[in-house]
Structure 1
Amino acid sequence: MIRGKTFIISGPSGVGKSTVLNALLKEYPDLYFSVSATTREPREGEMDGIHYHFIEPENFHKMIEEDAFLEYAEYVGNFYGTPKKFVDAAMDQGRDVILDIEIQGAQQVCAKRPETVRIFIAPPSWAELERRLTDRGTDDEDKVQKRLLRAKVELKMADRYDYFVVNDTVDNAVFQLKSILCAEHCKSVDRIEKLLVE
């Protein structure tokens, strides 16, 4: 069996990554969406193994020592990371894996696994990103401005990615992602390996 591929999705807060990924996963139920591990407490309604793998801080640090993460980072006093074992198990079954992680995490993954395909999701315009962040109503104006400042930094790093997808509409973004998945599986090396295995 040919091993699955790893795809990273990154992009600024408010660009619509979750919406686009949920739509893509509905069309490709065999894709494996990697669930992150975290040391933070579960929020109301969150389920272990569905939203996050909730781990005690001492266990998380032990996993770091054992090199059990593809990537990890500390954010606002809590640790977040991508456990290797779930990603590898899905890939060994021939499933493609999608990780929704920030640029720092993407760099860590690609340092360990350079074959990883990186996709950057961008807004159609700066004004649209600002509107989306404001309209979702989850942050005050100060937090929106901080997210916009961070978005400028992230957009400057988008050239480190293999693909650049503009999320002007969910349908267009999903179409582009499906095209990328198809293109990656049509690379000659993969097709030759598949023929040789049969």
Structure 2
Amino acid sequence: MRGTLYIVAAPSGAGKSSIVNAVLARDPNIRLSISFTSRAPRPGERHAEHYHFVEAAEFERMVEAGDFFEHARVHGDWKGTARQSVEPQLAAGNDVLLEIDWQGARQVRAKVPGAVSVFILPPSRDALEQRMRARGQDSEAVIARRIAAAREEMSHYGEFDYVIVNEHFDTAVDEMCAIFTASRLRREAQVARHGRLISQLLAGESA
């Protein structure tokens, strides 16, 4: 049985990574795909754990070689998902989660129509700005650009299957777990998973 591909996108500052990490800790059946990026690591980020950090020239070489499942330029830097991180996992029956932006999500949906996509929204614009400032890493000019970029990102929420508003963190985590559970219980998935049982239940004369 082929695995399910999950897409999670959100504007910067919406709490996506924190929610995803909490969900992964709770659900061992989902594998996180680690994206490649050409930007420099931020304080606390580690190579091959948060991202695969590569030079822009190396990223572009990988694009030319067709190594990426999806890729896009985000805030002036390249981000992408390697084919090797997704296709073999799905073929082996493992569920894979992609943390990507709306551009990458659009590419993925075109390649994998059965992918399940989730968009995370902040509870307010004030909350979004406060979370950006709480990082304490960016100048006012950078924050202004990120707010404008977040507005553009959020305008694409309608392209996703599910929308979560991250007002209360624990609730948002519960809601994402519920989406994954419901996806696995879809009729098509259950028939593939329990086809023999269903055949046995329906065999012979009815009582």
**TM-score above 0.5:** yes
1:104 to partner: Cα distance: 0.9
Q: TM-score, structure 2 length as denominator?
A: 0.84
1:59 to partner: Cα distance: 4.8
1:154-169 correspondence to structure 2 within 5 Å: 154-169=153-168
Name the SS of the counterpart of 1:179 in structure 2: helix
Q: In the comparison of the two structures, how many residue pairs are matched? A: 197
Rg comparison, structure with higher value: 2
Provide the rounded CA distance (Å) in 2 between the counterparts of 1:55 and 1:134.
Answer: 27
Change (3 A) 1:38 1:145: closer
Give runs of ≥4 in structure 1 deviating > 6 Å: none
1:113 to partner: Cα distance: 1.4
Whether 2:117 is the aligned partner of 1:115: answer: no
Provide the rounded CA distance (Å) in 2 between the counterparts of 1:146 and 1:77.
Answer: 11
Partner of 1:144: 143
Deviations 1:169-192 (A, max 9, x none): 221111000110011111111111
Partner of 1:9: 8
Q: What is the RMSD of the two structures over their aligned residues, measured on CA atoms?
A: 2.3
Whether 2:49 is the aligned partner of 1:50: answer: yes
Partner of 1:106: 105
Structure 1 stretch displaced more, 46-55 or 63-72: 46-55
Deviations 1:111-130 (A, max 9, x none): 11121111000011222112
1:85-100 correspondence to structure 2 within 5 Å: 85-100=84-99
Provide the rounded CA distance (Å) in 2 between the counterparts of 1:139 and 1:56.
Answer: 22
Provide the rounded CA distance (Å) in 1 between the counterparts of 2:178 and 2:111.
Answer: 26
1:31 to partner: Cα distance: 1.5
Name the SS of the counterpart of 2:86 in structure 1: helix
Q: TM-score, structure 1 length as denominator?
A: 0.87
Structure 1 stretch displaced more, 156-165 or 91-100: 91-100
Deviations 1:92-118 (A, max 9, x none): 332211111111111111111121111
1:57 to partner: Cα distance: 5.0
Change (3 A) 1:49 1:135: closer
Name the SS of the counterpart of 2:152 in structure 1: helix
Structure 1 stretch displaced more, 158-167 or 112-121: 112-121
Deviations 1:136-194 (A, max 9, x none): 22222222222222222222210111000011122111100011001111111111122
In the alignment, structure 2 segments of 5+ residues that lack a partner are 198-207
Structure 1 stretch displaced more, 156-165 or 75-84: 75-84
Structure 1 stretch displaced more, 99-108 or 52-61: 52-61
Structure 1 stretch displaced more, 124-133 or 18-27: 124-133
Paired residue type of 1:79: W
Between the aligned residues of both structures, percent identity stands at 38
